[in-house]
Amino acid sequence: MNDVDNTSIPQGEDYARTGPGTLAGEFFRQFWLAIYQSSGLKSEWSVPVRILSENLTLYRGASGQAYLVGNRCAHRGTQLSAGIVDGEGIRCNYHGWKFSGAGQCVDQPSEPCSFADRVKIKAYPCREYLGLIFAYMGVGDPPPMPSYPHFEGDGVLFSHQLIRPINFFQNLENSIDEVHIGFLHANSPYEGNINDDVPVVTTEETEFGIAQFGHRKNGKRRDTYYHPPTTTSWAQAPTYPEEMGWRDMLGFRVPIDDTSHITHTITFAKVSSEMRASFLERRKAEWLELSKLQPAEEIADLVLAGKMRFKDIPWRGNGADMTRIQDRIALMGQGVIADRTMENLGEADIAIKLLRSIWSREMIALRDGKPAKKWLNSIPPPTTGL
Ligand code: FES
Ligand SMILES: [Fe+2]
């Protein structure tokens, strides 16, 4: 690893830097990472992607298998994603070199004496699960894929992608910051009145990660589970009448680079097969309405620029969208990479402290060549105690 201090305890920006050779980057590269929405990658299409500060090419071969390889052709460096998917490989558009899904050059049509067997670009294995493409960007054999069986049953499963121009760790911390629900989202629709008061938070490290319990004075409790490196699972109020209970949610916060990240959110709505069509129609109509409104990003920018008051944000007609605007304001308000040296954490920040201590511990283990914790590859259903 480069530029790593071998004595200090990782903190502050150490959590935020995830490029190759960084401690947090090495931590990330131990896991399967959600990188793309499956339905967004059609057969025999290729797209450029940037993950953990690495520029890559994601493509889907003729068989339907997804592949992740380097972004540049090894010949003279043009962008491979602009090339042609050819069977299970991808062919550069410039002089026709072809690379397999394992990154091996397999054809050099312009070379009378091919040396393709000596040319290779990087490649990472991909798998698909719950409507997302996952990649393993580490070395050696990949670990078992994460498994979330409670998202595999009857119901409606859909994902949503959101890019924010800030470091991922702010969003990860926000996802286990139960206290902010009562302030930032006080006017968002949370069924069960979980935003009526400030919760008392308890938390514990588990075999799967972190369990956080948010106890309300009204007796309600919402749990959030954290699964390394950046997955959280929580319950969210139903939005439409077809739903038979709280939604189960999974959020994957994956660095594009140190100053931006993408969140893949999976929603599992408890809807019977008879109600499925009606649910999907209602959802489509609501998103159509939202698309006619001022973009959420613009509203957040207006508030951050002092041109709109936070309390004057117009109601969006969709609780999730309102919540996203509010979170965007809070997280972008911390800066692109939050300065954690000026914080004053209190007892209510117990989950944030635990999260950071786990990251520090695991990063030290990696740095010192000690064994990292073997986490369970699954987490329990998030809906408890409501
Ligand atoms: S640059 Fe790709 S084949 Fe020449
Ligand atoms: Fe929030």
Distance between CA 251 and CA 266 in Å, rounded? Answer: 6
Report, as an integer, the average pLDDT of 292-302.
Answer: 94
Cα-Cα-Cα-Cα torsion 120, 124, 127, 132, nearest 10 degrees, comes to -120
Separation between Cα atoms, residue 352 and residue 175, nearest integer Å: 10
Delimit the domains of the chain by residue range.
Answer: 32-136, 149-367
- Return the best residue to mutate from 69, 72, 75 for the ligand 1 pocket (most ligand atoms within 8 A of CB): 75
Output the CATH code of domain 149-367: 3.90.380
What pLDDT does residue 85 have?
A: 98
| Residue 187, pLDDT score | 78
Domains 32-136 and 149-367 in one fold: no
Other C-beta atoms within 10 Å of 351: how many?
25
At residue 264, does pLDDT exceed 70?
A: yes
Q: Which band of pLDDT confidence, cut at 50, 70 and 90, is reported for residue 2?
A: very low
**Any ligand 1 atom below 6 A from CB of 75:** yes
Task: Give residue 286's pLDDT band: very low, low, confident or very high (50, 70, 90).
Answer: confident
Where are the extended beta strands (E) located within the chain?
Answer: 32-37, 46-51, 54-60, 66-70, 84-86, 89-91, 98-99, 105-107, 123-124, 126-129, 132-136, 156-164, 200-205, 210-215, 221-227, 231-236, 247-257, 260-269
At residue 319's C-alpha, the angle toward residues 313 and 322, to 5°, is: 30
**From the CB of 76, is ligand 1 less than 6 Å away?**
yes
Rounded-to-integer distance, Cα 193 and Cα 296, Å: 25
pLDDT digits (tens, 9 = 90+) for 80-103: 999 999 999 999 999 999 999 999
* pLDDT tens-place string over residues 328-380: 999 999 999 999 999 999 999 999 999 999 999 999 999 999 988 999 999 98
60-74 per-position pLDDT tens digit = 999 999 999 999 999
Q: What is the mean predicted confidence (pLDDT) over 226-242?
A: 91
The average pLDDT across 199-207 equals 94
What percent of the chain clears pLDDT 90, i.e. is strictly above it?
A: 78
In the chain, what is the straight-line distance between the N-terminal and C-terminal CA atoms, in Å?
A: 45
Could you tell me which residue, 30 or 197, shows the higher pLDDT? 30
Average pLDDT over residues 161-188: 92
What pLDDT was estimated at residue 364? Answer: 92
**Residue of 3 and 273 predicted with greater confidence:** 273
Number of residues that make up the chain: 386
Which residue's CA is the nearest one to ligand 1's atom 3?
Answer: 95
The overall average pLDDT reported for the chain is 92
Q: Is the pLDDT of residue 222 over 60?
A: yes
Nearest ligand (C-alpha, residue 71): 1
Provide the CATH number for the domain formed by 32-136 in this structure.
2.102.10.10
pLDDT of residue 192: 59
78 lines ligand 1 (CB under 6 A): yes
- Least confident residue range of 95-99, 193-197, 236-240: 193-197
Residue 323 has pLDDT above 60, yes or no: yes
Checking if the pLDDT of 5 tops 60, the result is: no
To test ligand 1's pocket by mutation, which of 81, 91, 94 has the most ligand atoms within 8 angstroms of CB? 94
14-58 pLDDT, tens per residue? 899 999 999 999 999 999 999 999 999 999 999 999 999 999 999
Instruction: Assess whether pLDDT exceeds 80 at residue 11.
Output: no
CB-based burial, 354-374: b 16+ in 10 Å, e otherwise: bbbebbbbbbbebbeeeeeee
